[in-house]
Amino acid sequence: MRRQKVRVLFTNWADANNFNAQSLNAREIALRLDPEKFAATLFYERAPDARLVGRPHITLRQVWRRGASFQMLGAMLRGHDILFRANLMLATFLYFRLPNAMRRCETVDWLEGWLRPQFQDLTPRQQAYFYFIQARLRHRVSISEWVAQTSWTDYQLASERVISVGVDTRFFVPPATRTNAIPRVLFVGPLIERKGAHRVVEAARRYPHISFLMVGHARDAFGAELQKRVREENLNVTIEAPMAQSKLLERMQAADILLHPSLVEGVPKVTLEAAATGLPVVMFDAYQSPSVVNGVTGYQVKTFEEMMEKLDGLLQDGAQREQMGAAAREHAKKFDWDVIAREWQSYLLELVG
């Protein structure tokens, strides 16, 4: 007798214009699930990611902004086996308030970063949601050993497994050649303090002859002030809004170095994408990311001054950039989404097995 497919409901948005890293990650996994074994459902609001349309094992469910949480809650109760990424939102909170008899699916959260700094940014209501949901979750997976360790130390949240984020190495590829006479430095991420956007601006001040590109948007007054300073000081910084992956690929292929001065991460997705396109990465070692091999594919540093020292060396040494970029490309293949999705598929099958 043929076994029924495992039905997985993904709570991250599948809209084409949603460039949130967690949403992109969920789509990559859903796309690669074995259609003979899995049936996936994803939500969208306006226009879904075209890659998801027409896939036999994927159902796209449109929800409207008014009453979206209740529409999503209804889908959660519609006979799924696994609720993937039972994350911090009203629909999930409402789901866990229901009697146990109504909550029949396995619930999985994917912890993708250091929780404590993110928790401090939450409103009191969101913090209450966090404790309520986490106390009722059945399963957790962490993106790295460091995230698993800090989640336990800070909140006693145990992870069953560690599965990294991935990168599509067939899509993110190096250019044929890099021919910039003057190196270009790239930053990708929201213009917020914990992502270190202000440190990129400081680096631009130190290297006025170098071109800096920042891809991200201002979420708050901090980002707005940062944009204002760039304009008023006429700094050598170009700021662009978040963009589709195809455009981001172009920006990476046109760059020479990725500068990622965030102190609060897990495994930054952008560092793997940059590595796949042959870029050396300079980042902090505060969260022990496996995406950069220190001294081989880039640098993991302890202080901002050390970061500037390593950046300076890469700016001056084209041969080192090329050597590290080639090593980064090979390293990124270990994190290809095909590899990561197989890990998720095995784990999800275990949950219902």
Which phi and psi angles does 307 have, rounded to 5°? -60, -45
Please name which of 23, 44, 40, 20 lies closest in space to residue 32, comparing C-alpha atoms.
40
Residues 162 and 287: their CA atoms lie apart, in Å, by 15
Q: What is the pLDDT of residues 261-303, one digit of tens each?
A: 999 899 999 999 999 999 999 999 999 999 999 999 999 999 9
Q: How many other C-beta atoms can be found within 10 angstroms of the C-beta atom of residue 230?
A: 20
Reported as type and span, the H/E element at residue 110 is strand 106-111
Q: Which pLDDT belongs to residue 66?
A: 85
Strand partners, 268: none
Strand duo 139-142 + 106-111: pairing: parallel
Residues 134 and 223 in one domain: no
Same domain, 206 and 327: yes
Regions of the chain short of the pLDDT cut 50: 1-2
Residues 153 and 204 in one domain: no
Total domains in the chain come to: 2
122 with 217, same domain? no
- For residues 143 and 59, state if they share a domain: yes
pTM for the whole structure: 0.92
User: Whole-angstrom Cα distance, residue 137 to residue 114?
Assistant: 18
- Total residues belonging to the chain: 353
Cα angle vertex 217, ends 11, 10, to 5°? 5
In order, the DSSP letters of 80-91 are: -SEEE---SSHH
Amino acid in the structure at residue 264: V
Domain match, 110 and 195 both: no
Residue 1 pLDDT? 35
Regarding whether 80 and 40 lie in a shared domain, the answer is yes
Interval 78-118: pLDDT, tens: 889 999 987 778 899 999 999 988 988 999 999 998 898 88
Q: Are residues 154 and 232 in the same domain?
A: no
> Which residue do the tokens 């145990």 mark?
158
In a domain, 48, yes or no: yes
For residues 346 and 322, state if they share a domain.
no
The answer to whether residues 139 and 190 belong to one domain is no
176's CB contacts (< 8 A; 6+ apart) are none
In a domain, 301, yes or no: yes
Instruction: Give residue 3's pLDDT.
Output: 58
Per the structure, the complete domain to which residue 211 belongs is given by 184-334
Assess contact for 39 and 6: CB atoms under 8 A.
yes
Q: Is residue 214 part of a domain?
A: yes
